[in-house]
């Protein structure tokens, strides 16, 4: 089930296990306890070599993966990640989380994840195209619109999805909705690039309103990590709703405001960052422009101990990007809400800090895990699948309204489930960690029971 060489997957498994054990779920539904051993093993793991040619004519070899984790609720659904750190442990954890995240959307999607240890940074368009052709040569045997529908993830944006989709169409001689995140003129959905970031903000909106009915993002300071699609569109939506974004980062460093009185990021500055990231550039290339008094650039750092007093923290970069010490710093800085735009953005130690604060103080910091708060991306992927199946295209307003409805329903499900199965004695806020984990687990486990995957 969990191997010693799979630390990321072990972390995800342990977090779910502890949540279920520290609730009343198995007292109220003892027949679902058996499912844990079954749901924690992928239905299928594919590993393959990808041999391609660089611009100098040299042969290159990478390792490709697809973890088809669970299909009880629908076709396997989850992104492809191209990054040198990709390994089986990371993809198993992502596929495991994706299974329960997809369940929380209410759409008919199972869970999966894939990718390759290929690094698109510094590669030419020709090299990326040739790599995608060879990657899809093998993957195309194992996916399909009713079997497994990948999407983009880190290192896989619109350009890569285009090359991958074109390769699939040529290999299989079929046009089908086998990938999501496609271009708007050839089967994609409006709002898909924005969906994870927008959905994150819609979820946090409900958190704010739950604590203080009628309250909103207006006038609140928002610390964000990352600078990819999720971070960019979360920042833009937060600004649109009246929030002040005080940080953005990448793997090399972070931009933060020089003083609390400084104006936050503007949409124009975020557009400049988007242009840099589109070609896999680094934030540091904007240092001379962005550090003219308004911002300071801190190399090798993450935002959390450098942003000062903030109301909302949104990790939107990668896994385990908030440590226990950084969590304590956010609490000390008066942060009231933290919600993950990244998958498993907080370490177990950080989650313990947030949950202890929530329990001990009725209005302490409130933490939302990624499987709930960032499910908007895969939700709109599901909406893209629906549009492809019926050969229609919905308007931007219709997709956005459906996305918001899904995020609101997800939040309400997490709250009601946390209250129903909580074993803790507290006058504080309900645990969104428990709510998300239990709600996702119950839906998947009951479908597996009905289908004979365990008995």
Q: Which residues of 237-259 are buried (b: 16+ CB within 10 A; e: fewer)?
A: bbbebebbbbbbbbeebbbbbee
**What are the C-alpha distances in Å from 337 to residues 242, 265, 358, 364, 374?**
16, 20, 10, 9, 15
Annotated active-site residue in 92, 101, 113, 336: 113
Of 18, 23, 180, 153, nearest in space to 82 by CA: 153
CB 119 within 8 Å of CB 73: no
Question: Quick check: is 34 catalytic?
Answer: no
- Region class of 225: left (phi > 0), else alpha (psi between -120 and 50), else beta: beta
H/E stretch holding 409:
helix 396-421
> DSSP of 310-377, one letter per residue?
-SEEE--SSTT-B-HHHHHHHHHTT--EEE-SSTT-B-HHHHHHHHHHHHHSTTS-EEE-HHHHTTHH
Distance CA 315, CA 394 (A): 30
Q: Which residues are catalytic?
A: 113
């Amino acid at each position: 089930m969990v191997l010693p060489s799979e630390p990321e997957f072990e972390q995800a498994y342990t977090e779910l296990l502890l949540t279920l054990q520290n609730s009343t779920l198995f007292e109220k539904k003892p027949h679902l306890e058996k499912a844990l051993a079954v749901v924690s093993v992928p239905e299928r793991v594919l590993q393959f070599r990808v041999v391609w040619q660089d611009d100098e004519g040299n042969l290159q070899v990478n390792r490709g993966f697809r973890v088809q984790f669970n299909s009880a609720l629908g076709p396997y659904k989850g992104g492809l990640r191209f990054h040198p750190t990709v390994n089986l442990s990371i993809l198993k954890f992502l596929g495991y989380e994706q299974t329960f995240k997809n369940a929380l959307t209410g759409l008919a999607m199972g869970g999966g994840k894939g990718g390759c240890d290929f690094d698109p940074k510094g590669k030419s368009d020709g090299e990326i195209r040739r790599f995608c052709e060879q990657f899809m040569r093998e993957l195309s045997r194992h996916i399909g619109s009713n079997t497994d529908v990948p999407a983009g993830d880190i290192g896989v944006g619109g350009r890569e999805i285009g090359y991958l989709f074109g390769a699939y169409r040529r290999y299989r001689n079929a046009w089908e909705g086998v990938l999501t995140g496609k271009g708007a003129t050839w089967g994609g959905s409006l709002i898909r690039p924005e969906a994870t970031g927008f959905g994150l903000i819609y979820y946090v909106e409900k958190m704010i309103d739950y604590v203080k009915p009628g309250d909103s993002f207006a006038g609140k300071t928002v610390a964000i990590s990352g600078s990819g699609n999720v971070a960019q569109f979360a920042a833009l939506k937060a600004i649109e709703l009246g929030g002040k974004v005080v940080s953005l980062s990448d793997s090399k460093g972070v931009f933060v405001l020089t003083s609390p009185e400084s104006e936050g990021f503007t949409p124009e500055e975020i557009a400049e960052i988007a242009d840099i990231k589109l070609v896999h550039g680094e934030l540091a290339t904007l240092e001379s422009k962005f550090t003219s008094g308004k911002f300071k650039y801190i190399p090798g750092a993450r935002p959390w101990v450098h942003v000062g007093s903030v109301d909302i923290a949104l990790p939107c970069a990668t896994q385990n990007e908030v440590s226990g010490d950084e969590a304590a710093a956010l609490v000390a800085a008066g942060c009231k809400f933290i919600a993950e735009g990244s998958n498993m953005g907080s370490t177990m130690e950080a989650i313990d800090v947030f949950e202890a604060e929530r329990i001990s103080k009725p209005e302490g910091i409130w933490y939302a895990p990624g499987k709930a708060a960032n499910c908007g991306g895969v939700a709109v992927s599901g909406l893209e699948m629906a549009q492809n199946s019926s050969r229609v295209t919905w308007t931007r307003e219709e997709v956005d309204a459906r996305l918001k409805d899904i995020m609101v329903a997800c939040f309400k499900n997490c709250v009601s489930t946390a209250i129903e199965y909580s074993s803790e004695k507290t006058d504080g806020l309900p645990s969104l960690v428990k709510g998300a984990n239990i709600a996702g687990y119950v839906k998947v486990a009951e479908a597996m029971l009905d289908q004979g995957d365990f008995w």
